[in-house]
Amino acid sequence: MDAERIGRAIRTLRQKAGYTQKELAEKLFISDVAVSKWERGKSVPDTATLMKLSELLDMDVDGLLDGTASYLGDRWLGALLLDGAALRADTPLFDKPLIDYLLSYFLLAGVREALIACGEKERDYIDGRFRGGEALGIRLRFTSPEALTAEAALGCFRQGEGDLMLVTEPFFLYGVDLTRFLQRAMQRKSPAVNLASVVGQGGTPLREGFSHYAYRPLPLFFLQSRFLAACPSRTPLRELPRLAEEGKRLRSEPMDKGFLCAPLRSKENARTVSALVHVIQQLGNYLIYCPPEIAWRRGMLRGEELLRAAEAFPEYGEYLRSLV
């Protein structure tokens, strides 16, 4: 156990969450001196405190102890492929448009920059809704589908280094601690990782053979820059998962049972997911996939910026104001 590495992770996550050392200590019912010692690598939290700390900092215990997950989002670029999708970005799924769900996946993973391949009308809608990402403290860039290649993605990385979180089509995914599975996939050393959900019947066993459950691959991939660099430069991003699988470089990352997954390829899919979201929010008495809230909890928005977001997104206004 590397105390200094854990301390750096705690400091980074605390700052991203917007807590001072004193505020974090008060929520943990400890002294700010203890928090200071953790962050300087002089001591580490005990097991009970780690559990509470993981909740406050929105990071699983393994990620805290590993000490690397707090930096993952900074080197990752998101890519969302909406070209050819049956549902438009503004398609309502109960109380919010489809694009809010899709961008939330990147926000949950801590990704602060995303490329979106879509048509002109969808670009105008998304850009207008999020002001180029400024409304969420991130950066959104738009491109035509044919221009979004492996070479183009590599050219977007800061200082030529980074990895790619790729969503190849719209889909719905919901479950407890989704962030943990996103971060786990991002930490894998495999050149290409595909998130997979338990389906019980009708799926296929994982190639790794360590589980008796059947899984179904999701249209969500995590591709390292070394894999992108090894692909033909003009390869469309949509083709990269296929190349990874054919080259036996694609690893499946299974999630736990209990996650709800659904394709979004038709209006019937949209109606089903809308009904599901309604039930989840009604029984839980909270909103799911509210992009400004997630951005705030990830430290991408400050408190005053969240209040401005409450004005910019009136459908979330009352809820967002209740958070600060």
What's the pLDDT score for residue 159?
57
Note every long-range contact of 278-283, with CB atoms under 8 Å and residues 24 or more positions apart, other chains counting: 278/94, 278/95, 280/174, 281/94, 281/95
The CA–CA distances, whole Å, from 148 to 79, 115, 218, 219, 233 equal: 9, 8, 21, 17, 11
Contact (CB, 8 A) for 89 and 117: no
What's the pLDDT score for residue 61?
76
Instruction: Name the percent of the chain lying above pLDDT 90.
Output: 56
Q: What are phi and psi of 276, to 5 degrees?
A: -65, -45
User: Same fold for the domain at 3-67 and the one at 74-263?
Assistant: no
Distance CA 204, CA 200 (A): 9
Which CATH number, 1.10.4190.10, 1.10.260.40, 3.60.20.10, 3.40.190.10, labels domain 3-67? 1.10.260.40
Whether pLDDT at 297 is above 90: no
Number of C-beta neighbours around residue 322 at 10 A: 8
Whether pLDDT at 267 is above 90: yes
Q: Burial of 176 by CB count in 10 Å (0-12 exposed, 13-18 middle, 19+ buried)?
A: exposed
pTM confidence score: 0.84
Instruction: Name the percent of the chain lying above pLDDT 70.
Output: 90
pLDDT tens per residue, range 199-233:
765 555 554 444 567 788 999 999 998 899 899 98
| Amino acid letter, 258 | G
Q: Residue written as tokens 């977007």?
A: 156
Note every long-range contact of 124-131, with CB atoms under 8 Å and residues 24 or more positions apart, other chains counting: 125/88, 125/89, 125/90, 125/99, 126/89, 126/99, 129/97, 129/99, 130/103, 130/291, 131/312
What's the pLDDT score for residue 210?
47
pLDDT class for 73, splitting at 50, 70, 90?
low
Q: Where are the domains of the chain?
A: 3-67, 74-263, 290-324
Please name which of 315, 304, 313, 312 lies closest in space to residue 323, comparing C-alpha atoms.
Answer: 304
Note every long-range contact of 124-128, with CB atoms under 8 Å and residues 24 or more positions apart, other chains counting: 125/88, 125/89, 125/90, 125/99, 126/89, 126/99
Query: How confident is the prediction for the chain on average, in pLDDT?
Result: 87
**Interacting residues of 269 by C-beta distance below 8 A, sequence separation 6+:** 87, 262, 263
What's the pLDDT score for residue 243?
94
pLDDT tens per residue, range 32-70:
999 999 999 999 999 889 888 887 887 767 767 776 655
Bridge partner residues of 141 (DSSP):
115
What is the CATH number assigned to the segment(s) 74-263?
3.90.550.10
Distance CA 147, CA 15 (A): 37
Please name which of 83, 163, 177, 175 lies closest in space to residue 122, comparing C-alpha atoms.
Answer: 83
Average pLDDT on 279-299 reads 92
Lowest mean pLDDT among 118-132, 190-204, 238-252, 269-283: 190-204
Distance CA 238, CA 80 (A): 10
pLDDT tens per residue, range 84-133:
888 999 999 999 999 999 999 999 988 999 999 999 999 999 999 999 99
3-class state of residue 254 by DSSP: strand
Pairing of strands 192-198, 113-117: unpaired
Can you say whether residue 271 is alpha, beta or left, with left for phi > 0 and alpha for psi between -120 and 50 degrees?
Answer: alpha
Distance CA 169, CA 86 (A): 9
Please name which of 43, 8, 38 lies closest in space to residue 24, comparing C-alpha atoms.
Answer: 38
Average pLDDT on 246-263 reads 89
Which tokens in the block code for residue 233? 């430069």
What's the pLDDT score for residue 209?
46
